[in-house]
Structure 1
């Protein structure tokens, strides 16, 4: 068996194995095979005098660079920088490029204006050998990021912060890559990075630093797909383009599908690709490794993809210290509001492997109650215990299938362990509290199998006691719920199915009204934590859409329409990362002092980065959410 056939055999084995691991088969590209079997006519091309191994379109010409050729614009030297790779973004209205110079420094190049000219900032030398790099603009108001493709089968995602002639590069996460990954490009609109694997195909990953690391096939190399070979990538008008390295085919992708392909002159052996949008067509440059020249060709304009409404990103304004347990540990927060000074309020958060932790609003741990596996927690204030004023917290106690109760000093928020109420459930999971008619206090607790129990909490001479007042069930696993005291409603989620509302009073119907469904335009399973925000004028329901790391805000009154959604991103000034894969959340309309005058959101963070640590809870000012809502 010759070397090329051996590579193809290995590639086929790797592709099949990878697709099976991703829960799909080679049929994932069947539609692409059928849609793009027709090769368009051969595109005419002509050699140019443009020098440099790497090109980037700018204005009406081409910016170029190579390890031997200094940075030049249409043949005119701009700077003596020589290097490899070149990617470009318009950042804060300033054209910006990233390259790696011959001293292995990342260099950010900017053209401020014709009057101000060009400037550059350089990093410390990169410690690992690179195969490629690509820029990423996560949002217009955030610093640029980059993916650095290393030879050791991983891409390092980094933050780029220029200051004068110095470029600070902050590692964010490592993205595992398949072997022989060489080319990458990012679609900023969709937050997707495309990466090629030689002889195998093109993969796509989420580019968001807080997202789950999971790759999906875009298109595969023959015989598993329609591609002759993978190669250099380029984006134009939200469309992905690629030439086959060492070959002579050009591909255009749209909406994650191979849309068209063209034959290039068979004298071309492609090794580079650059695109420039013109009024009536697309100008393309293909580097021919046979003659080491850039060849110009004209491509027909393609239909512009539908614009994508990116989910807004709000900055985290605070965070708690990480929980002590590793892995999937932190789960659900609750807020206790200080009666006189909101700044002295407390955040309760569960470590579902160890117990209940208490934090101040700066995120510092104040108490640790090692009570075992408590999952969800909720708080109500203005109750009593043994006839004395006392606030109360309840948590789902998984070790003993019970409701764990905690007494909270109403004057200072100090918490101590109180009673436990055994349930008749087998594997308790989610929990929330509700204050109903006549100030009666209830706890809703659910089981992984879908069953719910509603318990009334009674103040007795011996302490708190429980009385089961109602049972009902969902068809599959629930968790998050929220009691709306003012409107006698219970909001609850069935993780992979839907978001519901029902009457929270014990002697009423258990009929469910569906508010939203997993997989609609707003919610992506799992449907997790939720909480009602009520400032006396407006009432909203905030829900964790865990599957796409977002949070959806609904009207808490009929018809319960969705109003907006957002993600939680990093706060560079405070060196806080964003939040993702959120289980539980809570929100309050109280005045918590500077920064939180209009209210506070606290969410569980499933991936705690900057630096990478065990899980914790992130804080967000409600003021940021208000700015997303229509003016009232």
Structure 2
């Protein structure tokens, strides 16, 4: 169900698809794959495993963000979502620093809190002064949650500063919240011209992306207001003249999760999971452009209600060649000269694709890599949901910067219990792999 517009909210509907690194790095830490396969990099550390079951606290690793401590880079933090497990904060050794529970359900029959994606805002003006914030999408309550970052605060670096009166992002009432077509993917953006900070939030099982202006509230709290909403396409005209939509459960539309904003030009990149990567203005004006398609684009499918899976038909050959659905985990890798890459997690083949950030080059594909096991005890990344890169020195452990990626299948496993965590990769290895 679509949320009604207000006087301050405009819905734009798109109905068709449009068409530091110079530091030396150890050569043995990355290598090229076999013929036809991408280069391989290996992680240096991993966080403790999370289990998505009653015994593990229903914690499921999803999306990370890297906060750099400018005064002491070696004491920087990784802040990550654990869905119903709330938030986790790690140091650069991947050791837990703080755990924050997701908010409880509003009532006995209501959905509990569930933190999906996280991003950072630096120097947001609050009623009590400026502060760095971690912002997370609470899918369970259809809200954004805000946490002030104070590295040396007793009890942990994060403090909840969410305005209790912050509104639902998409839902009109608790019944709609419980349907869980709620706040899902998340990216933050600060407009350099005005200094205003925003969050861009996608909607689960829908194609919507909404722009929220972040606002100070009383007592150092944070709230937001809707500026405008845009709907990406749900059906697509194929080159043979037929109409196509990706297979899914009845009533579900192709959703967006992975998103990131390039601060150099105010460009939003959004991964529509079964479609590809869109490029559009972060203020949600103008016309979106489809930068790349997943391999499965255009493949027909039939949903089986008994197995809850789709049976694909013959591939007509209209898809891309570099990413496989789902496409998630978008992040930016910025180089010292201002250039760099858009990185995207290609869940279908457990790789990462890199695209040039130059709009004039139409975000040309620059290569890819895979995060592979470093040892029997330190595995790689599979079906990566979220990723974050920071190309800045982070003390002695990561002098070339850091890439953090979610691992959807941590190994060695623990029987039949779902096991996930985050891998820490020396960013210098990634730059070297992409430059080879």
Both structures adopt the same fold (TM-score exceeding 0.5)? yes
Contact 1:452 1:472 in 2 (8 A): yes
Q: What is the aligned counterpart of 2:40 among 301, 313, 316? A: 313
Question: Are 1:561 and 2:364 matched, yes or no?
Answer: yes
**Cα displacement string for residues 365-419 of structure 1 (whole angstroms, at most 9, x for unaligned residues):** 1111101310011112222322312111111111111111111126668101121
Counterpart residue number, 2:349: 548
Please report the RMSD computed on the Cα atoms of aligned residues, expressed in angstroms: 2.4
Contact 1:323 1:330 in 2 (8 A): yes
- 1:457-468 superposed matches below 5 A: 457-462=214-219, 463-468=221-226
- 1:37-56 superposed matches below 5 A: none
Counterpart residue number, 1:493: 271
Counterpart residue number, 2:170: 424
- 1:469-508 superposed matches below 5 A: 469-474=227-232, 475=234, 476-505=254-283, 508=285
Give the distance between the partners of 1:435 and 1:535, measured in 2 at CA: 20
Counterpart residue number, 2:108: none
Contact 2:43 2:378 in 1 (8 A): yes
Counterpart residue number, 2:64: 333
Counterpart residue number, 1:369: 100
**Cα displacement string for residues 210-252 of structure 1 (whole angstroms, at most 9, x for unaligned residues):** xxxxxxxxxxxxxxxxxxxxxxxxxxxxxxxxxxxxxxxxxxx
Distance 1:531 1:141, change over 3 A: closer
Alpha-carbon shift at residue 611 of structure 1 (Å): 5.3
Q: What is the aligned counterpart of 2:398 among 596, 610, 626? A: 596
Give the distance between the partners of 2:51 and 2:145, measured in 1 at CA: 21
Give the distance between the partners of 2:407 and 2:183, measured in 1 at CA: 22
Counterpart residue number, 1:451: 208
**Higher RCO (C-alpha 8 Å, min separation 6):** 2
Structure 1 runs, 4 residues or longer, greater than 6 Å off: 139-142, 410-413
Contact 2:64 2:118 in 1 (8 A): yes
Alpha-carbon shift at residue 140 of structure 1 (Å): 11
Contact 1:333 1:350 in 2 (8 A): yes
Secondary structure (helix, strand or coil) at the match of 2:363 reads coil
**Cα displacement string for residues 536-585 of structure 1 (whole angstroms, at most 9, x for unaligned residues):** 4123111100110001111112220111101111112x931111110011
**Cα displacement string for residues 53-89 of structure 1 (whole angstroms, at most 9, x for unaligned residues):** xxxxxxxxxxxxxxxxxxxxxxxxxxxxxxxxxxxxx
Contact 2:30 2:429 in 1 (8 A): no
Give the distance between the partners of 1:424 and 1:598, measured in 2 at CA: 40
Counterpart residue number, 2:74: 343
Alpha-carbon shift at residue 466 of structure 1 (Å): 0.6
Q: Which runs of 5+ in 1 are unaligned?
A: 1-138, 143-187, 190-307
Secondary structure (helix, strand or coil) at the match of 1:540 reads strand
Alpha-carbon shift at residue 597 of structure 1 (Å): 1.4
Rg (Cα) greater in structure:
1
Q: Between 602-611 and 380-389, report the one with greater CA deviation.
A: 380-389
Give the distance between the partners of 1:595 and 1:528, measured in 2 at CA: 27
Alpha-carbon shift at residue 324 of structure 1 (Å): 4.7
Task: Give the TM-score normalised by the residue count of structure 1.
Answer: 0.49
Q: Between 353-362 and 322-331, report the one with greater CA deviation.
A: 322-331
Distance 1:536 1:456, change over 3 A: farther
- 1:139-538 superposed matches below 5 A: 308-326=35-53, 329-371=60-102, 372-409=113-150, 414-419=157-162, 421=166, 422-425=168-171, 426-436=181-191, 437-448=193-204, 449-462=206-219, 463-474=221-232, 475=234, 476-505=254-283, 508-509=285-286, 511-519=287-295, 520-537=320-337, 538=339
Counterpart residue number, 1:242: none
Q: Which runs of 5+ in 2 are unaligned?
A: 1-28, 103-112, 172-180, 235-253, 296-319
Alpha-carbon shift at residue 141 of structure 1 (Å): 6.7
Contact 1:390 1:410 in 2 (8 A): no
**Cα displacement string for residues 438-477 of structure 1 (whole angstroms, at most 9, x for unaligned residues):** 2211001111211111101012334212121110012221
Contact 2:31 2:40 in 1 (8 A): no
More strand by share: 1
Alpha-carbon shift at residue 595 of structure 1 (Å): 4.1
Alpha-carbon shift at residue 493 of structure 1 (Å): 0.9
Give the distance between the partners of 2:201 and 2:330, measured in 1 at CA: 14
Contact 1:338 1:411 in 2 (8 A): no
